[in-house]
Structure 1
Amino acid sequence: MSSPSSRPDAIALIGPTASGKTACALALARHLDCEIISVDSALVFRDMNIGTAKPTPAEQQICLHHLIDVIDPTQAYSAAQFRADAIRLIGEIRSRGRLPLLVGGTMLYLKALRDGLSDLPQADADLRAEIDREAAHAGWPAMHAKLALLDPDAAARLDPGDAQRIQRALEIVRLTGRPLAENYAKKEANDAPAMCVIALDAADRSLLHARIKHRFDQMLDGGLIEEVLTLKARYALNAEMPSMRCVGYRQVWEHLDGAYDFAGLRERGLYATRQLAKRQITWQRKFSAEWPELTALDCLDPALPDRVRETVERALNHALPSKA
C-alpha cells in the first residue's frame, strides 16, 4: 500500500444507503475520465433494479459501469470474487488511461480489496443445507445461541436475526473446528491497489433516516412488490438465496407469503434499511480509525459534491479538468 500522500491507483466512494453515493459519483464522472466499479452486493443481480436503487440506463451512460448485472438472482457472489474482479478491472481501467472509481456500500467488499482475505474454507452446500434445516425448525436466534457455545466472540458480534452471517460462521467453525478469529488470522498476500477512500457519514442520523423513508416509499410506489413477483415468476428462487436476503426483497417476499400486510411490509422494510445503514456506518468508523487514506465527509452537507471533488483533487495533486 502506498503512503497516503502518494497518487492513488483508484478512488473509493463509500457510504450508507441513501447517503447520495451515486449522485456524487456521477457528478465526479462528469469531470473525471473514469470508469465506475460497483461495490454493492445487490447490484450484481440482474433484473433487481427498483429495490437496489440501481443506476438508471441514462446514469450508466455517463461513464462505463462495472459489476452491475453480472449474475442471475439464483446465483451467489462472494467477497473473494469481488476482490479478484476488482483487482482485474482496476488494472484494465488504468491500462486505458482512466481512473477507477469504486462506489458502493458493501463494506466487506472494500475491506477484502484493501486488506486481503483470510484462508477460509469454501462453502459446503450440504452443511449449509443442514444448518438451514436446523434453523427452519429452531429459528435463527436458536442457531445464534448454538454459535455462542462454539464461538462466543463471533456470536457477540452478530445480531441473533442475521441469518446469512450466522450460517457462514457456523459453517466455518464446524468445518475447521476453530473459532472465526483463528480462521481470519491468516491473510493472503495483499496485492491491493493504493486507494483514496472517501466515506460519506451522517452528522444527523435522523435526517438520514428521513432520506431512507423517502427512498423506500419511492421504491414501493415505483413497483417493488411487482418486481419481486416478476422475479419469482422468472427464476427458481427461494427465500434463503442471497438475492432474496437483500433488504427490501426479504420483506416483500415475507409480505407475499402472508406474514404481514402492506403496512407491516413498510414498517419492517424501513427498520431493516435503518439497521443496514447503522451497520455500514459502524464499519466506516472502524475504517476511519485504521485507514490513514480515508477522508470522512458529511453526506448531509449541501456542498457535498464540491467536497468530494476537492478531496479527489488533493489525492490526484491537481484540479480536475472538465471532460471534453
Structure 2
Amino acid sequence: MTDRGLSINALTAPLVDALVADADQLRLGVHALDNGACIVDAGIAAPGGLEAGRRIAEICLGGLGRVALRGGGPVAGWPLSVEVTTSDPVMACLGSQYAGWSLSHGEGKGAFHALGSGPGRALACKEPLFAELGYRDQSDRGCLVLEVDKEPPAPLIEKIARDCGIAPSGLTLILTPTSSLAGTVQIVARVLEVALHKAHELGFHLGDIRDGLGAAPLPPPAPDFVKAMGRTNDAILFGGQVQLFAAGEDAAVERLARELPSSASRDYGRPFAEVFKAYGYDFFQVDPMLFSPARIQVTALDSGRTFTAGRIAPELLEASFGVAL
C-alpha cells in the first residue's frame, strides 16, 4: 500500500479490466505477449474511437477522476469538448496522468522512445516528482499509456515490469497514436494536468490546490503527426479552460492565476505546429511555460475571491483546426 493509504494502480485495475473486456465494441486490439504482458492497441492496427479515448483518459487519471465528452464547451461554435473533473487533482494529474517517465530502447534509426503516463509511474517512481509528492505505490498490477504508433520492443517491456516491481503478466500497456481518435481524446483530457504541472513549475504549493476541473474542445485528428500534435496542443493552449480551488493567501492565488495561462509564454501567438517548425522540430527548445490552458480561474478558498486570467482564442483555433468557428 502507500503512505496515503491508497493505491492508484489498484483503483485503476477494474477500469483496465473493463476496457479489455469491452475491446470489441470499443474497436480495440488486445493481445498478450509470451511473457504475459497485455498490449492494448487503441489506434495502430485497430481503429479505436472516442469512447475508447475517454475511458483510457480515466485510466490515466489513476481512478481518481472522470472524463466526459460534452456538447458545446468553452469555445463558442465548436460542437464537442472534453471535460475533466477530479477531487484529488494533484495525485490524479501529477501522480498518474502526467507523461513524465522517459522510456527508450536501442540507438539510431531503429530506436524506440516514448513518455509513459498513467498509474504505473507511481510503482517505478523514476521521477523526482514522486519524492515531492511523498508517494510510492505498491501493487501487483500496473498500467501505462504510451502515445506511440508502434509496439515497444520486448526488452523494454521486461524492463518496465522490473522497474515497477511486478511480473510482466501484471503489466498492461495501452498504445494511443497521436493521430488516432482515442489518442486525440486522451491528449486533450490533459487540460487540467497541464495547469497542475505549470503550477508546480511556478513554485505554487501543490498541497494548497484542493479541487479542480477543466474543459477543452475536441479537435479533428490529422494523419500527419506534426499537425495532429499541433491540433491537440492548440485545443488546450487556445481553447482550454480550467477552474482551480486553492487555499492560501490571496496574493499567491492571484499570482498563480496571472501566470498560469498559455498567453503568459513568450511562444504564445501561433499554432503549435508553426512554433515547433520554427525551432527545427526540437521540442525542448519550446518555452515550457507555453503548455497550459488558455483561460484560468482560481478561487481562493480562504477569502472566497476568484481571480481570472487569459482568454479563449478562436482565431488561433481556426488556423490550427482548419475549420471556421
Using CA pairs under 8 Å that are at least 6 residues apart, name the structure with larger relative contact order, 1 or 2: 1
TM-score with structure 2 setting the length:
0.27
Report the structure, 1 or 2, having the larger helix content.
Answer: 1
Structure whose residues are more often strand by fraction: 2
TM-score (norm 1): 0.27
